[in-house]
Chains A and B, each alone.
Chain A
Amino acid sequence: MSDPTAPDPIPEDAARTALAKRGERLTTLSFAVSIFGALALAVVYWRGGQPQLEGIFLCLALGGLGVGMIVWARYFMPHGTDVEARHQIESTEEEIDAFREEFERGEHILTRRSLLVRMGTAAVAALGVALIFPIRSLGPRPGKGFKSTPYRKGIRLVTDDGTLIKADDVSVDGVITAFPEGHTDAADASTLLIRPNEPVQARPGRESWTPGNLVAYSKLCTHVGCPVGLYQAGVHLLLCPCHQSTFDVLDGARPIFGPAARSLPQLPIEVDGEGYIVARGDFSGPTGPGFWDRDR
């Protein structure tokens, strides 16, 4: 590590020489560590790679270089305080005036200047508005899709692999995640089928929605839409893992704890002649998180 450009300190006394020696040793050592790290990294890589070793050797290669540079600067580079004057950042009045004059050159030649400026501005504005339109291509108009799911009257319920669900498949205290038949990838239609061990208190108008005490709710939390996954059968509560909103299954999935403000929408279901579970229509409201015109 004898670089001809590195300024050598003048050995004024023994202490100074010792210091320089130490600096030299430290710098050399750091760079040696760096070289070792780099070589070892190459070897590790060729032998098939190993994340931990790669990290360690990369650390040595970079760190040795870094320490070496800092030690070098500490021991062998001129130190001391430098002072620099600050200058005013603002331009002076004269400079501003000179600039203005330059900028407004040619203005007096223009007649009807205000009209030209106005038309020019209008043209630029019109172009700006025109450029907004391509943004419209980024997504469809937020219409019905936000408020409805593929559930219709007569659509059967299936599991996520497409198997039809019979009413008997849901045991007491059991939960099954269901989808409308043919739409197992519909993110807004995931449904929880639950058969609590106590009678569900049906909301007015929903008395016939729970055949055999089987109740179907949207699986999407009304807070910010996480899947409500945890059913505590003993207390009939559904728990959202994201922010701990808790819904009462017996009472129309009313939120009783946490940040969710709305009940989970309920799906009207019935059991058809062959014993399959069938939807009688769409959910009682839009599923998932709220938006401003949800109720319109």
Chain B
Amino acid sequence: MTTTSPARRQKRDKLLTRRAARWLDARLGGAKYARTALGKVFPDHWSFLLGELALYAFVVLLATGVYLTFFFHPGNQIVTYHGSYAPLHGVQMSEAYRSAVELSFDVRAGLVMRQIHHWAALLFVASIVVHLMRIFFTGAFRRPREVNWMIGVLLLILAIFNGFAGYSLLDDQLSGTGLRIAYSITLSIPLAGTWLASLLFGGEFPGPDIIDRLYVIHILLLPAVIALLIGIHLFLVVRHKHTQFGGMGRTEENVVGEAVWPSFAFKSLGLMMLVAAVLAALGGLAQINPIWLYGPFDPAEVSSASQPDWYMGWLDGSLRLFPPLEIRAFGFEVPAPFFPGALLAGITFGLLFAWPSLEALFTGDRRVHHLLDRPRDRPVRTSLGVATLSFYTVLTLAASNDVIATTFGLSVNAVLLTFRALVIVLPPIAALVTYRLCNELQARDIAGGYVPPDRPRVRWELLRFWRWRAMRRASRAPSTAG
């Protein structure tokens, strides 16, 4: 069976797929390139699957999303509902909301697709965040991969935006409230805010055009940009070759792992099917965003305890925690939501973008790195990362401070004050504990005979940026003295 008889080979070449492949190769000559692609080596580690997870969630998003566009109408004209969901009979609503409800009840497989789509969106952002954490804590963003890190951060931002745009389309009470908050945060930006809000919404809130615009943004603009960026992201991964942990013959000069074809590719495709399978089960069994319960959006109506999707939670939480601080001078003002909304988001993503350069600046390490750091070997970076994570986790939890208060019978005031204290106190504590833990783990490694890679000194003195010029002058001056 192992040797191929000539007869069998002939039979093989008669197979249609093989003939098609030959036909294509005669025109494109792809076989040699395809062969190099199949031979690409990927190192094996569970954490390297996280990015794939995000990719496959995106595939599911595209597939289900296309289906949904066949049934959804993003209109804002007012219509009366006559569908099969009795409680809404005769209710006035926007065309967008009606088609979303009809899609859920009167289109076969519509609800399951809608729920898979929503779950996939949650997974998409979640796996991007966890993937980003992996890259951060192992130092995989260092030279030569800084550009790919920035593309990744951009993808995270776009994924969050598109998720928000997606659930805002349905024009139910919950999403209307979300849009209102987004509008107000845009409005709060000094100088540009009023113009930005007006241009984005086509006028004052609720704005006549916002649903139509969000639709185009959600189904065309952002998906195209995301797909393009994912393409570049993957191309760069291939170009740089994957990073790997050190040891067992793995060095800066090689990649040790498994060739793409056949085992890796099959397993990866299998993973895609499994991701889709889990999302299908969730979409069928776990109700998500039951818009028919929220009712159509009415700007004057009260929405009870509105909880956004998880990836917006940190912004909602920071809006709740930030003290009522407004700066007013000369008839101008900086409204309260600017700081916890626009400014925090700007700082968050700004720091993420800049991190590779910041770290290179503070460590002075600008060498090429293909070997990953173990988090414990870089205690400063690791503890800063953990502190940051704890900060955003507290903010996210704070987004449900009213739910926490009612569930545990506490006063909202006490819960709020606790969260305010936590958001300030917890990050430094988390950093200290992590730092200690890293050092202890490393000491144990050393006792066990492990030689950790040398750790660059962090040049904390650079924090005194007003002394940069003096420092540069000092470093340039020939050290004749002494």
Contacts and interface: CB of A to CB of B under 8 A. Distances in A.
Interface residues of A, number: 83
Interface stretch (B19-27, B281-289, B376-384): B281-289
A259 B283 contact: no
A56 B285 contact: yes
A48 to B, nearest CB: 7
B300 A289 contact: no
A291 B187 contact: yes
A45 B108 contact: yes
Given A84-B241, A244-B320, A296 B332 contact: yes
Interface stretch (B134-142, B222-230, B257-265, B347-355): B257-265
A241 B254 contact: no
Interface in A61-101: 61-63, 65-70, 72-74, 77-86, 89-90
A51 B302 contact: no
Contact of B194 (A82, A227, A292): A292
A62 B300 contact: no
B109 interface: yes
A1 interface: no
B270 A288 contact: no
Interface stretch (B195-203, B443-451, B457-465): B195-203
A290 B333 contact: yes
A55 B300 contact: no
Interface in B311-326: 316, 319-326
Interface residues of B, number: 103
Contact of B336 (A227, A259, A288): A259
B41 interface: yes
A86 B368 CA distance: 12
A82 B239 contact: no
A167 to B, nearest CB: 21
Contact of B115 (A51, A53, A62, A146): A51
Interface stretch (A109-117, A132-140, A200-208): A132-140
Interface of B: 1-2, 39-41, 108-109, 111-112, 115-116, 144, 177, 180-181, 183-185, 187-191, 193-195, 197-207, 239-241, 249, 252-259, 262-264, 266-267, 269-274, 276-278, 280-285, 299-306, 316, 319-326, 328, 331-337, 340-341, 368, 370, 401-402, 412-413, 416
Given A73-B266, A259-B340, 8 more contacts: A45-B109, A56-B284, A73-B270, A89-B144, A138-B200, A139-B200, A244-B320, A244-B402
Which 7 residue pairs across A and B have the least CB separation, nearest first? A55-B284, A229-B302, A66-B273, A290-B335, A63-B277, A224-B184, A142-B194
6 contacts: A8-B2, A60-B277, A66-B273, A84-B40, A139-B207, A241-B305
